[in-house]
Amino acid sequence: MRSGDVTNLAFAPLLVLRGLAPDRATVDADVARWVERHSLGDLRPSAAFVRVARGWPEFRSVLYMRLRHGSLAARVVGRVLSAVYRPMPLLVFQTSRIGPGLFVEHGFATVVSAHEIGEGCQINQQVTVGWTGRGKPRIGSHVEIGAGAKVLGPVTVGDGAWIGANAVVVRDVPAGMTAVGVPAQVRPHGADAEGS
């Protein structure tokens, strides 16, 4: 037996959580996104789940967040297993509605407290998506939030928007646009942004 197989067996108890998840399709979409982002190849769903859960404490944080919205059994088993299979330290989710396919790159020192987040989003390390006294952000689908960025207050970030590293977003970002700077300025993506 190869050492990778032994390590995978050590993480096999987490497969129970896949079965207890309130929406297994959402968890499977999260796994598929991690498999894609890390170029893990073509794996069976259970093997992919164990490989991702073993390799990334950020994924375990996402998984435990999803279980908090499940049955009592899901919450209890998730809490017990989180003591053995630790999540990413200082990665905090205070958002009840996060769409499938969430990918967290690194994730250390990240707080996500949005009203809602759409599907297929990516969040990097040292990000704050946070509320102010006026409200929480709404993040659309397929949004990427770069390292160190802050998205604060009752702003809306539209589908497909990119938030640049260290940007401070305090105003709405329309769909398909990029926000960069402090305070963030909005401009078109890619080649259209040259010379802006």
The verdict on 68 and 79 lying in the same domain is yes
CATH of the domain at 105: 2.160.10.10
pLDDT in tens, 145-194: 999 999 999 999 999 999 999 999 999 999 999 999 999 999 998 755 44
What is the C-alpha to C-alpha distance for residues 90 and 70, in angstroms, rounded to an integer?
Answer: 22
Q: Which domain holds residue 191?
A: 89-196
User: b vs e for 35-74, b when ≥16 Cβ sit within 10 Å of the residue's Cβ?
Assistant: beeeeeeeeeeeebbbbbbbebbbbbbbbbbbbeebeeeb
Instruction: Identify the domain boundary among 88, 103, 118.
Output: 88
Chain mean pLDDT for the chain: 91
**pLDDT for position 69:** 87
Q: Which of 88, 106, 132 is the last residue of a domain?
A: 88
| 80 plus 112 within the same structural domain | no
Q: How confident is the model at residue 20 (pLDDT cuts 50, 70, 90)?
A: confident
pLDDT of residue 194: 46
pLDDT at residue 189, as a whole number: 82
Q: Give the global pTM.
A: 0.88
Counting the structural domains of the chain, the total is: 2
